[in-house]
């Protein structure tokens, strides 16, 4: 089965997407999954999760502008540009309301939507989400890596060097043991972004040497939606402490901490899906918050 299997247009841009699962009203809202930035696209982060859930609910995974085969923004862009695009995407797909999950940069987009258009969301899932921190983990290294000449070297090396791709995964995953397929998948996604360099425009607006432009940590208490935060215990990019603080400030939030680093749906797939489905299938609202439920250790 081809994962990315549909197209639409948003604000004049062609957008590729995966759209799987039943269309009939079965009591579930469609689940919309947003991938991250730098080296990512719809299938890299979400294909396994979508395949597991699409037998009982509609799952939609767009390639964000500039990723996969989707047309990109013209020049520098920020989280608000992505958020405005997301509302246009929902309208183009005829989706009045969805359950919304986002990884990293996609989590930041989901946060923007929750703060500005909560009526479009049933339940919110933030996975190692951008937008909760004033600075990234290892911020000076990250800022240097995604800007200027260093960024070009990073993309080229990740696309062409298996050794470098494995090193990048070691840092992101916070572990040393990797299946060969993990490196192969990253290199395929890196080959796309070595050509497109879509994250450069986001980094120019959102990432400086002093910090991150978008930090919603003081506003997350306004989000009354049922929310699940899933976070890698050793995420080197988005500090776990910031996810804990956000969960404490939100009135109806739960925090699931999984072993490993920044991409828990790939590193700890079964535990990730168990946490996600348990949350999405819970009836009603106002369940008692739970913490550290789905994984222990590093």
Tell which wins on pLDDT, 91 or 148.
Answer: 91
94-134 pLDDT per residue, tens = 999 999 999 999 999 999 999 999 999 999 999 999 999 99
Task: Calculate mean pLDDT across residues 126-155.
Answer: 84
Who contacts 235 (Cβ-Cβ below 8 Å, separation ≥6)?
128, 137, 174, 261, 262
168-210 pLDDT per residue, tens = 888 888 765 677 889 999 999 999 999 999 999 998 899 888 8
212-245 pLDDT per residue, tens = 999 999 999 999 999 999 999 999 889 999 999 9
Q: Residue 234 has which token pair?
A: 């050793």
Rounded to whole angstroms, how far apart are CA atoms 280 and 278? 6
Phi, psi of 241 (to 5 degrees): -60, -35
Q: Which residue has the tokens 């009045």?
A: 96
31-85 pLDDT per residue, tens = 999 999 999 999 999 999 999 999 989 999 999 999 999 999 989 999 999 999 9
Rounded to whole angstroms, how far apart are CA atoms 292 and 244? 10
| Claim: this prediction has a pTM higher than 0.75 | yes
Catalogue all structural domains in the chain, each as residue range(s) with its CATH number: 6-137+213-281 (3.40.50.1820)
Task: Go through 22-60 and write b for each residue having 16 or more CB atoms within 10 A of its CB, e for each that does not.
Answer: eeeeeebbbbbbbbbbbbbbbbbbbbebbebbbeebbbb
């Amino acid at each position: 089965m081809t994962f990315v299997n549909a197209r639409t247009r948003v604000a004049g841009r062609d957008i590729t997407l995966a759209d799987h699962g039943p269309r009939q009203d079965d009591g579930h809202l469609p689940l919309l999954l947003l991938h991250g930035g730098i080296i990512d696209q719809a299938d890299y982060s979400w294909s396994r999760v979508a395949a597991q859930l699409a037998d009982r609910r509609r799952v939609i995974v767009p390639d964000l502008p500039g990723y996969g085969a989707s047309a990109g923004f013209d020049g520098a862009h920020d989280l608000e540009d992505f958020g405005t695009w997301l509302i246009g995407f929902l309208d183009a797909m005829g989706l009045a309301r969805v359950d919304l999950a986002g990884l990293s940069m996609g989590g930041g987009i989901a946060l923007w939507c929750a703060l500005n258009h909560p009526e479009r969301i049933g339940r919110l899932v933030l996975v190692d989400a951008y937008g909760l921190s004033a600075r990234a983990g290892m911020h000076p290294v990250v800022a240097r890596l995604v800007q200027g000449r260093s960024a070009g070297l990073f993309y080229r090396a990740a696309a062409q060097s298996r050794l470098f791709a494995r090193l990048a995964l070691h840092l992101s995953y916070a572990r040393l043991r990797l299946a060969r397929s993990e490196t192969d998948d990253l290199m395929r996604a890196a080959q796309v972004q070595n050509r497109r360099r879509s994250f450069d425009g986001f980094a120019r607006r959102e990432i400086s040497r002093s910090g991150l432009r978008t930090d919603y940590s003081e506003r997350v208490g306004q989000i009354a939606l049922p929310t699940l935060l899933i976070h890698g215990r050793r995420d080197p990019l988005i500090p776990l402490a910031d996810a804990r603080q956000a969960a404490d400030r939100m009135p109806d939030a739960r925090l699931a901490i999984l072993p490993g680093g920044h991409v828990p749906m790939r590193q700890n797939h079964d535990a990730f899906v168990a946490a996600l489905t348990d949350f999405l299938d819970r009836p009603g609202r106002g369940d008692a918050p739970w913490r550290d439920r789905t994984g222990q250790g590093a």
